[in-house]
Structure 1
Amino acid sequence: MVAVTLWIASLCRQDPSYGGWSYVRRIEGETGAAAIKGAAGGERRTTGAKMSLTALTEALEGLSDLPADAAVTLRFSDLELAGQLVAPDGEYATTEPDAWAAARAAVAARPVLEMVPASAGDGTNGFLAAWAEFGLDTSKSRGSFKAAIPKPNLMKFPG
């Protein structure tokens, strides 16, 4: 069985305002550029909840080239995320219903998914936060966007 680890991060300045998200995925047991990929993006006039749900959705949709039964470990920085996904009427569901529905569908499509909060001292947090910040900054001038994180940068990922 294929095993993969996902890391996600998001941020929003002056909620609601500009936001950014990022994710990195690594296929366990593989090495080199093919084993790792990631993306970052951002939006104008958004909320922290939407950025968190977008990071989750984009990361899980980024697994489309892997079998549906791949074992996925998701490490996330938004400590409310896991609880929100099981609460049908939680804050994320009511403030961002479209993003919440997309995230719930992406989670449902992955039957082997373990969600683990990222620890504060995890070295991956800085890398992901920098790319989420890039998404936020770029959205200020370009509007909503999504881009792959370049391979040379991904090869420096501490995860």
Structure 2
Amino acid sequence: MTSSAVTLWTAALCKQDPGYGGWSFVRKLDGESGAAAIKGAAGGERRTTLARMSLTALAEALSSLSDLPANTAVTLYFADPALAGELVASDGAYASAEPEAWAAARALVAARPVLNLVPLAPSAPANGFLAAWSEFGLDTSKSRGAFKAAIPKPNLLKFPG
């Protein structure tokens, strides 16, 4: 599969921090449409933190790019306002709070030389979609524990991004 650019959106939440958490991401190949152009996943964990869920969403989104060349231009919209600042810090709060998730996310970011980080406005339509799937991840983790699942294609085709 070839694409000159791809856009990612990520979101995470944690009810009580630490507590139950959820994350989600959507990936869309720029300039393409239909079911093959979009994919996404959601998941959650028990006894987690918002930092871990944000880093997990980031890592899962960037891992979804494994079928694209490393130099593919990537725009990443993220709902966690602290994430970009943390990614440019050498040892920010996320690094000390979640060292393993931090290391994994940093390695994936470093592997993408053309990565544009953009905060996702709370009023953006994509934010509501992602928040709902992050909430699904949080709720499902209560009964299942840690898990990850693909967002079904019929739902992804309604993504407003």
Q: Same fold (TM over 0.5)?
A: yes
Task: Determine the structure 2 residue equivalent to 1:79.
Answer: 81
Match of 1:123 among 113, 125, 136: 125
Task: Determine the structure 1 residue equivalent to 2:17.
Answer: 15
- What's the CA shift string for 1:47-89, capped at 9, x where partnerless? 0000000000000001111111110000001010011112122
Give distance in 2, aligned partners of 1:138 and 1:108. 32
RMSD value, Cα:
0.7
Q: What 5-or-longer segments of structure 1 have no aligned partner?
A: none
Match of 1:138 among 140, 144, 147: 140
Please show how residues 2-41 of structure 1 align to structure 2 within 5 Å. 2-41=4-43
Deviation at 1:120, TM superposition (A): 2.2
Task: Determine the structure 1 residue equivalent to 2:154.
Answer: 152
Quick one: percent identity of the two aligned structures?
74
Q: What 5-or-longer segments of structure 2 have no aligned partner?
A: none
SS of residue matched to 2:91? coil
- What's the CA shift string for 1:108-142, capped at 9, x where partnerless? 01110000001122100000000000000000000
Give distance in 2, aligned partners of 1:151 and 1:8. 17
Give distance in 1, aligned partners of 2:75 and 2:44. 24
SS of residue matched to 1:67? coil
Give distance in 2, aligned partners of 1:86 and 1:75. 16
Q: Which runs of 4+ in 1 moved over 2 A?
A: none
Give distance in 1, aligned partners of 2:143 and 2:106. 30
Look up the equivalent residue of 2:9 and give its one-letter code. Answer: W
SS of residue matched to 2:52? helix
SS of residue matched to 1:12? strand
- Give me the TM-score of the superposition, normalised by structure 2: 0.97
SS of residue matched to 2:105? helix
Task: Determine the structure 1 residue equivalent to 2:96.
Answer: 94
Give distance in 2, aligned partners of 1:75 and 1:17. 25
Look up the equivalent residue of 2:130 and give its one-letter code. Answer: L
Deviation at 1:20, TM superposition (A): 0.3
SS of residue matched to 2:135? helix
Look up the equivalent residue of 2:33 and give its one-letter code. Answer: T
Deviation at 1:143, TM superposition (A): 0.4
Look up the equivalent residue of 1:36 and give its one-letter code. Answer: I
